[in-house]
């Protein structure tokens, strides 16, 4: 079951030994669809084991990073565009690759 941040953790439905791969994929699909649609409050349950737990951990970390990046870009845009404070800088710890390039671009623009 896909969870929303800030809500009580809901129990996963009981499953037979070996799990239900289709149910797990549907949970992942629901989470990916929510993020695609801009819902960064979505989390996958990390109470699984093995590969499913690793996928949930990476997915939840990705959503946290997207949420932080969005917050920082919004803050800098408000400071520069609305309040006229030039020089505001987005701070997104641990970004790399394209995310670092985007953060650097926002900071150069500010």
Instruction: Say whether pLDDT at 95 is over 90.
Output: no
Distance CA 34, CA 66 (A): 13
**pLDDT tens digits, 25-43:** 999 999 999 999 999 999 9
- Provide the token pair at 42: 């979505």
pLDDT at 17: 43
pLDDT at 86: 81
Q: Quick count: other Cβ atoms within 10 Å of Cβ 27? A: 22
pLDDT at 23: 87
- Residue 1: pLDDT band (50, 70, 90) is low
Distance CA 80, CA 54 (A): 39
Instruction: Say whether pLDDT at 20 is over 90.
Output: no
Average pLDDT of the chain to the nearest whole number: 82
- Provide the token pair at 71: 């917050």
Residue 26: HSE in the Cβ half-sphere, 13 Å Cα cutoff: 6
């Amino acid at each position: 079951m896909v969870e929303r941040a800030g809500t009580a953790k809901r129990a996963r439905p009981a499953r037979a030994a070996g799990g239900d791969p289709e149910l797990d994929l549907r949970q992942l699909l629901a989470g990916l669809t929510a993020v695609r649609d801009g819902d960064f409050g979505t989390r996958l349950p990390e109470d699984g084991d093995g590969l499913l737990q690793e996928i949930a951990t990476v997915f939840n970390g990705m959503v946290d990073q997207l949420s932080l990046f969005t917050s920082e870009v919004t803050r800098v845009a408000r400071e520069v565009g609305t309040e006229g404070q030039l020089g505001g800088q987005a701070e997104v710890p641990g970004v790399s690759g394209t995310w670092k390039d985007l953060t650097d671009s926002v900071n150069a623009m500010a």
